[in-house]
Structure 1
Amino acid sequence: MEHIQKAIRYVDPQAAVTNIASLSGGSISSAYRVDTNQRSYFLKWNEEAPYDFFRQEKRGLEFLRESEAVHVPDVLHWSKKFIIMDIIQGSGDSRTDEWLGIDLANLHQSSGDYFGLEEDNFIGELPQENSWETSWVRFVRDHRLRPQLEIARSLGKLTDERSRRLRYILDHLGEWIPDDRQPVKLHGDLWAGNWLTGEEGRPYLIDPACWYGDYEFDLAFTRLFGGFSERTYEAYETIQPVEAEFEERMPLYQLYYLLVHLNVFGEMYGEQVDRVLALYSRSS
């Protein structure tokens, strides 16, 4: 673990590492708790990280912090291969789930002028296109669903039936998604593993894939794999009421994340992709 000792010296040249513990949960980078004679750190390491990968993670955390709505860890140093942050540790109490809902709702009050972001970033290990758009339908079609379709095709993960159904959905997307939506700050990768409990039970958001979009996009991913309590959703709606029509379009937003998972993890997500496609398209 000499490489970790060297990395920590960028933060504290005098620090002596006393313990390194591997942490679970990361499917892309190796994650560690690093204890030194001074303090503890959280470190992620990825020898094969794409160029700009960890800079984009730092920028995403700054994007969230600038909303003044949510807590995020401080980034202490980053390079092409690693990122070092404050370690977040605490225990939740009866208020934590409610605070999470309130924080997310307040994040979704931070509005922008356009959909997208000033530069592209990553969703997991895949590139995420963020070119500015004034149309919500065009953004979802051209910068979310279509790029994942092309990746799936290049990886040989599109059957003829999947391809036909996806093309149908892209051609008719405006029938299900309204165009007049307000762009707001999104975490962008909001599953249950991407928030932690910190001091005093406060929730902290981590591993963002940020951009400006419809708040429903974040909510849709929270509902895909579960892990968020009803208290969180109830607290959220005290600030940001959710439209009844969300239930009808939620699977379309979840389709983006299912395609990402299909492209990264393989056919284990194929059945879920096919179920969503069948909801909105017809076979030919």
Structure 2
Amino acid sequence: MTKGSCDEYLENRVRELFGSDARVVERHGLGGGCINNAEEYSLSGGDKLFVKRNRSSRGGLFAAEAAGLNALTVNEAPRVPRVLGHFDDGTDQILVLEFIVSAARARDFWQTFGRQMAALHRVSSKNGFGFDEDNHIGATEQKNSWMPSWLEFFAQQRIGFQLQLARDQGLLDAAGTARCERFIADLSDILIEPEAPSLLHGDLWGGNYMVGDAGEPVLIDPAVYYGHREADLAMTELFGGFDPSFHAAYNEVFPLEPGYRQRRDAYNLYHMLNHLNLFGGSYAGSVKAILQRYT
């Protein structure tokens, strides 16, 4: 833990949010992501803040995350940290959030989480599939232009966009590229159009939820858009970290359509391609294994 203030730029941003008398009296680093720096700040008035900072990614990173967190603030859905402010001077991006103290999970944590995600997924949009702005999936730009068809959206703005990134970096060989192109061409035989768009967290793996001070689920680090709810649920099964009672509770209140298990890995191709683009060729085998299942 470090006593005293942060640098002048961030100290001034704190004063903008909390008044001219506010100052940082304690701060310490927090473990977590590989993209941003995260710290806990204690203010002279007793408030605590969660502060994310990035000086390397392209602009708009935290403005988009703030928009996503605000969109996820839905009655009966999982809690999200309140956005207190965000700043971007072109080289230094800062996101200031409510600081949530983590406690032990409540006994019904997973059942509550499942039911709350079902409530979130019932939130829809008349605009179709997409979001009001592009955002990021990890450090990768995520395109969200509105489209009326889920299959076209997923083909173009999810798999197609990631495939182009992989091509540009030389991360996928000719055979893998051809299979991915065939996957896109055959998508109407692999996936289905949902009855309506659902509001998605967009990056729902085990590292992007926490336990709140009342033992409740809290969603963090979203990549929000309106899509097929199966995409969120598929990712909960990609890396583990979600209890079976989560899925059981979800299905009790918002049953999935038949065939989800057969479609699940097709959705996770997006995340495997993104990992390939972010972290390199060690993920090429995982990408090809999914493609071989469907093509």
* Structure 1 residues not aligned, in runs of 5+: none
Among 155, 169, 188, the alignment partner of 1:174 is: 188
Among 159, 163, 169, the alignment partner of 1:155 is: 169
Amino acid at match of 1:11: L
- TM-score normalised to structure 1 length: 0.94
Change (3 A) 1:180 1:187: closer
Aligned 1:85-104 pairs, distance under 5 A? 85-91=97-103, 92-104=105-117
Aligned counterpart, 2:42: 35
Contact 2:70 2:83 (C-alpha < 8 Å) held by counterparts: no
Taking the aligned partners of 2:78 and 2:155, their CA distance within structure 1 comes to 29
Change (3 A) 1:180 1:274: same
CA distances 1:59-104 after superposition (whole Å, capped 9, x unpaired): 0011111465231111111012110111111311212222111110
The alignment status of 1:118 with 2:126, answered yes or no, reads: no
Q: CA deviation at 1:206?
A: 1.2
Q: CA deviation at 1:243?
A: 2.9
Taking the aligned partners of 2:134 and 2:145, their CA distance within structure 1 comes to 7
Contact 1:95 1:201 (C-alpha < 8 Å) held by counterparts: no
Amino acid at match of 1:86: E
The alignment status of 1:69 with 2:81, answered yes or no, reads: no
Q: Secondary structure at the match of 1:143?
A: helix
The alignment status of 1:268 with 2:282, answered yes or no, reads: yes
Q: Secondary structure at the match of 1:14?
A: coil
Contact 1:121 1:209 (C-alpha < 8 Å) held by counterparts: yes
Taking the aligned partners of 2:293 and 2:57, their CA distance within structure 1 comes to 36
Amino acid at match of 1:192: G
Aligned counterpart, 1:82: 94
Aligned 1:1-284 pairs, distance under 5 A? 1-2=6-7, 3-12=9-18, 13-37=20-44, 38-66=46-74, 69-80=77-88, 81-91=93-103, 92-113=105-126, 114-281=128-295
Q: Secondary structure at the match of 1:199?
A: coil
Contact 1:67 1:110 (C-alpha < 8 Å) held by counterparts: no
Q: CA deviation at 1:256?
A: 0.3
Taking the aligned partners of 2:239 and 2:270, their CA distance within structure 1 comes to 13
Contact 1:102 1:235 (C-alpha < 8 Å) held by counterparts: yes
Q: Secondary structure at the match of 2:165?
A: helix
Q: CA deviation at 1:8?
A: 2.8
Q: Secondary structure at the match of 1:204?
A: strand
Taking the aligned partners of 1:240 and 1:124, their CA distance within structure 2 comes to 28
Taking the aligned partners of 1:96 and 1:33, their CA distance within structure 2 comes to 25
Q: Secondary structure at the match of 1:185?
A: strand
Identical aligned pairs, as a percentage? 35
Q: CA deviation at 1:10?
A: 3.0
Taking the aligned partners of 2:68 and 2:193, their CA distance within structure 1 comes to 26
Taking the aligned partners of 2:290 and 2:150, their CA distance within structure 1 comes to 20
Contact 1:129 1:144 (C-alpha < 8 Å) held by counterparts: yes
Runs of 4+ in 1 over 6 A off after TM superposition: none
Taking the aligned partners of 1:171 and 1:220, their CA distance within structure 2 comes to 21
CA RMSD of aligned residues (A): 1.6
- TM-score normalised to structure 2 length: 0.90
